[in-house]
C-alpha cells in the first residue's frame, strides 16, 4: 500500500471545515484507542507550572520557557510548560495509580525558541501519557512491547480514517522496526543523525530508534535528551545503552523521516544521578522533583508524548503542520496559499 501511494501521489481535496472535522475524528479515535490499550485514565493538565521546582522540562537544555509573574503570588514566577514528563510522574503519585495503570492528558505547550518549518511550530499539542510500572518491567522487552501496542493503535486509527474518508488510503507498514542508535550509526557512519533517521525510515516505513541521549561511539548523542526523565544511560539486554527512543515514520508526502513520538522508561534514582553527573547539573538534586525521586516518593514509570498535529498531518497527507493546527507563521509562509498550502 505504501508503494502504491508513493506512485500515485494522491492529492487531498478536503476544505478547511472538513479538515477540522477529520482532525477531531483522528484525535478522538486515537486518544480513546491509546487509553484502552495502555490502560490509561484521562486527566486534566496545566498550561503553566511554578518556576524553580524542577517540574518543567529543560528538553535539550537550550530552550527557554516563557516566564511570567502572577498577581497574588510573590517572589516566584510561573513558566509555560514545555512538556509534562516530570509533572505526569508526580501526578501518578498524587492519584495513587497502581502498577499497570496510568494517565493520559492533552498537553498544550509553547516553545518560542523552536525553529519554524513545515513540521515545527511554536505551538505543541501532544497526547502525553505516563504509566506506573514494576521494577521487573524496566527493560527493553517491556519498552518494545509498549511501542508495538501504540503502533497497532496508530494503524487501527489509520484504517478507521480510511473507512470514513476513502481519500486517505493506509500507508503504514505491518510492523514497526527496532534499531539502536549505535547500530544505526554503524550502518550509516557518514550520515548525520537526521539523515540516518530518514534513511532507515525510508527503508522500513516505521522504526523505533532506541537509546537517544547518551554519547555513541563517535562521541556524540543521536539527539539531545534531558537528564532527569528518560533513562538513556542504563545498559539494556542487547548490550547497548538506553531504555528510551523515538518513533520515526517515513512520510511519503514530504519525503523525509517524520518523528511522531519520544518516549521511554523513566529514570530511577541510580540512572538519574548518573545522568545528572554526565550533564554536569548535579545541583538539580536540590529541586522538588528530584528530591521526591531520590526519596523514593515517585513510582517507577514509562511514558512519552505523541504529537497530535504530527499524527493528523501524517494521516491526512498534509505537507505543512500549519494545515492541521492554528499557530503563528511569518507572512512568507502565509503567502503560499496559491501553492496549495491551506493554513488553519
Catalogue the active-site residues.
57, 111, 126, 246, 259, 262
CA dihedral 28, 87, 79, 72 (to 10 degrees): 110
Conformation bin of residue 39: beta by default, left when phi > 0, alpha when psi is -120 to 50: left
Question: What are the strands, taking DSSP E only, across 43-116?
Answer: 48-50, 67-70, 73-80, 102-110
**If we measure between CA atoms, which residue out of 38, 228, 265, 263 comes closest to residue 135?**
265
Three-class secondary structure of residue 257 per DSSP: strand
Q: Which three cell numbers stand for residue 179?
A: 534499531
Give the number of other CB atoms < 10 A from CB of residue 68.
10
CA dihedral 244, 126, 37, 171 (to 10 degrees): -90
Euclidean distance between CA atoms 106 and 44, whole angstroms: 7
Helix 308-315 with 16-38: angle, nearest 10 deg: 120
Q: Which three cell numbers stand for residue 338?
A: 496559491
HSE value, Cβ hemisphere, 13 Å, CA-based, for 269? 10
Amino acid at each position: 500500500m505504501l508503494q502504491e501511494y508513493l506512485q500515485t501521489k494522491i492529492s487531498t481535496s478536503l476544505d478547511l471545515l472538513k479538515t477540522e472535522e477529520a482532525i477531531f475524528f483522528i484525535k478522538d479515535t486515537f486518544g480513546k484507542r491509546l487509553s484502552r490499550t495502555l490502560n490509561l485514565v484521562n486527566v486534566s493538565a496545566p498550561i503553566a507550572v511554578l518556576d524553580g521546582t524542577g517540574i518543567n522540562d529543560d528538553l535539550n537544555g537550550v530552550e527557554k520557557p516563557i516566564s511570567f509573574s502572577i498577581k497574588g503570588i510573590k517572589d516566584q514566577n510561573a513558566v509555560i510548560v514545555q512538556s509534562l514528563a516530570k509533572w505526569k510522574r508526580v501526578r501518578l503519585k498524587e492519584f495513587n495509580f497502581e502498577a499497570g495503570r496510568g494517565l493520559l492528558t492533552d498537553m498544550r505547550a509553547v516553545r518560542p525558541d523552536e525553529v519554524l518549518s513545515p513540521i515545527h511550530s511554536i505551538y505543541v499539542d501532544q497526547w502525553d501519557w505516563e504509566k506506573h510500572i514494576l521494577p521487573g518491567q524496566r527493560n527493553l522487552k517491556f519498552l518494545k512491547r509498549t511501542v508495538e501496542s501504540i503502533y497497532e493503535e496508530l494503524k487501527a486509527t489509520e484504517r478507521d480514517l480510511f473507512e470514513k474518508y476513502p481519500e486517505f488510503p493506509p500507508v503504514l507498514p505491518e510492523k514497526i522496526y527496532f534499531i539502536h542508535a549505535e547500530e544505526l550509526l554503524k550502518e550509516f557512519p557518514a550520515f548525520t543523525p537526521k539523515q540516518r533517521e530518514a534513511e532507515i525510515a525510508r527503508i522500513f516505513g516505521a522504526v523505533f530508534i532506541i537509546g537517544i541521549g547518551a554519547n555513541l561511539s563517535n562521541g556524540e548523542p543521536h539527539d539531545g535528551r534531558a537528564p532527569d526523565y528518560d533513562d538513556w544511560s542504563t545498559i539494556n539486554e542487547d548490550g547497548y545503552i538506553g531504555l528510551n527512543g523515538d518513533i520515526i515514520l517515513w512520510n511519503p508526502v514530504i519525503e523525509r523521516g517524520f518523528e511522531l513520538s519520544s518516549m521511554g522508561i523513566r529514570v530511577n534514582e541510580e540512572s538519574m544521578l548518573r545522568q545528572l553527573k554526565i550533564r554536569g547539573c548535579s545541583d538539580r538534586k536540590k529541586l522538588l522533583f528530584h528530591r521526591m525521586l531520590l526519596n523514593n516518593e515517585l513510582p517507577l514509570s514509562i511514558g512519552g508524548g505523541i504529537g497530535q498535529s504530527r499524527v493528523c498531518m501524517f494521516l491526512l497527507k498534509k505537507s505543512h503542520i500549519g494545515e492541521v493546527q492554528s499557530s503563528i507563521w511569518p507572512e512568507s509562509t502565509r503567502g503560499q496559499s496559491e501553492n496549495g498550502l491551506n493554513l488553519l
